Amino acid sequence: MSSFDEAILDEPRRFIGYAFDKNPNISDFREFSKALEESMMGGEISEQTKIDLFEDNETKERIKENVSKEEFEKLYTDGDIVKREVIKGKVITIIHPKIKMKGYVTKRTPKPIVSYERGKPIKFTKAEARFLSVRKAKKITPKEVFAQYNIHFKVNPRTASSIKSKFYRL
């Protein structure tokens, strides 16, 4: 990260203000990125810094004024897990939709289970599976593996039950 990016992240409101001064009707990431670049007059801003500024609450509040509620929810998709990543110089938005689970009643418990939402299962990558298999070969307990896993794979943390299930299936 360059010192210019660090300066931007130290004072995000100021630079967000510059972008909205350049184009007060920003309604998506592409327009925000273009306005930010134009307001910097040739200063190099990394894509990750643009993403960080776009995800800032100040930007969300200003964009909320420019778009409808439905468009805002699609843009930031509050019901889904949204990640914006820089891949080969392009910003790619990855959306993991929520799965709606119906409520049900069991014979064992008198209380009904209410409906809820859960995230869509995400497959383990080869690196993650290898990480777990090496730990299993060393006979490390699943609880310790869980702690190590979330330290090692900070970008994609997983639940203890997810890691434990995969650990036993290997």
Domain ranges in the chain are 3-96, 126-169
Average pLDDT of the chain to the nearest whole number: 82
Q: What is the mean pLDDT of residues 22-45?
A: 83
Q: How many residues does the chain have?
A: 170
Q: pLDDT confidence of 145, banded at 50, 70, 90? A: very high
Q: pLDDT confidence of 2, banded at 50, 70, 90? A: low
Helix (H) or strand (E) holding 168: helix 160-169
Measured CA to CA, the distance from residue 70 to residue 78 in angstroms comes to 11
pLDDT score recorded for residue 84: 65
pLDDT score recorded for residue 134: 93
Whole-angstrom CA distances from 170 to 3, 70, 101, 167 are 45, 43, 28, 6
80-100: pLDDT as tens digits? 556 666 666 666 666 667 788
